């Protein structure tokens, strides 16, 4: 790439600053992306400690690779793909391959969003498939600071307990605010499979909060 009359993009500036060894740029990148990198790593590896190692390896690979980086994708996508590859390699070494099949084909086994017993049967004469046991309004105690803290603890715990595919998709979409297209890109998911995982994860968490509010009304 020679000199150009076009304005430099912020992305090109970022690459230049990183190549020139600008520490503030590196620290900023690490601070911006490490949390979601770690979340992504945890879709593939089993422990927090291994996820940290994979994130660390990823940043080292970024440093050694930045001189050769050709800008065919965004820096962000490039970094996250490095992480995905490393986490998968690590998972294979740990023999945790079940997560890939969940990511690739989340259709089976099918889980309903809500327990089917809460609906009237399809053969019901007037209201087939309508609520038999409708969702109760969540109590106003959700606004209470103490209840709120406890409920957020429950939500965090249950998010961490979701199957890995659902967990990583819900976390990247709803905790980190990623658009669907980026989640698909980084995880190699089709739009439909991404939506299935998001739907299952959110539906399960809604059910958990519903149960929580029913107990703490």
CA angle 46, 205, 209 (to 5 degrees): 130
Instruction: Kindly tell me which of 6 and 177 has the beta carbon lying closer to another protein.
Output: 177
Q: Which of residues 132-151 bind another protein (CB under 8 A)?
A: 134-138, 142, 151
* Per-position x/- string for 179-198, each x denoting binding to another protein as judged by CB under 8 A, each - no binding: -x----------x---x--x
User: Using the rule CB under 8 A, is 109 a contact of another protein?
Assistant: no
Query: DSSP letters along 110-139, please?
Result: ---SS-GGGB--TT-SS-TT-BSSPPPPPP
Sequence-distant (≥ 6) Cβ neighbours of residue 99 within 8 angstroms? 43, 44, 91, 164, 165
Closest C-alpha among 164, 155, 140 to residue 87: 164
H or E element: which one contains 11? helix 10-19
The least distance separating another protein from the CB of residue 103, rounded to whole angstroms, comes to: 17
Q: Which of 45, 55, 83, 91 binds another protein (CB under 8 A)?
A: 55
Query: Where does residue 86 rank: exposed (0-12), middle (13-18), buried (19+ CB within 10 A)?
Result: buried
User: Using the rule CB under 8 A, is 61 a contact of another protein?
Assistant: no
Q: Which of 13, 16, 60, 217 binds another protein (CB under 8 A)?
A: 60
Cα separation, 93 vs 105, in Å, equals 22
Cα separation, 109 vs 166, in Å, equals 13
- Under 8 Å between Cβ of 129 and 122: yes
Q: Token pair for residue 61?
A: 């690979």
Q: Which of 9, 13, 77, 175 binds another protein (CB under 8 A)?
A: 175
User: Using the rule CB under 8 A, is 166 a contact of another protein?
Assistant: no
Q: Which of 35, 98, 181, 214 binds another protein (CB under 8 A)?
A: 35
The least distance separating another protein from the CB of residue 156, rounded to whole angstroms, comes to: 5
The least distance separating another protein from the CB of residue 7, rounded to whole angstroms, comes to: 27
User: Using the rule CB under 8 A, is 27 a contact of another protein?
Assistant: yes
Q: Summarize as ranges the residues that interact with another protein (CB under 8 A).
A: 21, 23, 26-27, 30, 34-36, 38-39, 42, 51-52, 55-56, 59-60, 63-64, 112-114, 116, 119, 127-131, 134-138, 142, 151-152, 155-156, 159, 170, 174-177, 180, 191, 195, 198-199, 202-203, 205-206, 209-210
């Amino acid at each position: 790439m020679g000199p150009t009359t076009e304005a430099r993009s912020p992305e090109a500036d970022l690459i230049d600053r990183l190549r020139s060894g600008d520490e503030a740029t590196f620290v900023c990148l690490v601070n911006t992306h490490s949390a979601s990198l770690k979340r992504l790593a945890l879709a593939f590896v089993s422990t927090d400690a291994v996820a940290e190692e994979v994130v660390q390896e990823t940043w080292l690979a970024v440093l050694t690779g930045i001189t050769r980086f050709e800008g065919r994708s965004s820096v962000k996508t490039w970094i996250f793909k490095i992480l995905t590859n490393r986490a998968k390699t690590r998972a294979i070494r740990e023999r945790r391959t079940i997560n890939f099949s969940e990511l690739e084909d989340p259709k089976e086994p099918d889980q309903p969003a809500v327990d089917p017993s809460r609906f009237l049967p399809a053969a019901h004469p007037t209201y087939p498939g309508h609520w038999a046991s409708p969702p109760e309004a969540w109590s106003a105690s959700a606004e209470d600071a103490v209840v709120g803290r406890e409920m957020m603890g429950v939500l965090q715990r249950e998010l961490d307990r979701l199957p890995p595919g659902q967990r990583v998709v819900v976390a990247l979409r709803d905790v980190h605010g990623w658009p669907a297209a980026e989640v698909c890109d980084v995880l190699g998911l089709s739009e439909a499979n991404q939506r299935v995982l998001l739907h299952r994860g959110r539906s399960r968490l809604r059910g958990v909060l519903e149960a929580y509010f029913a107990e703490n009304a």
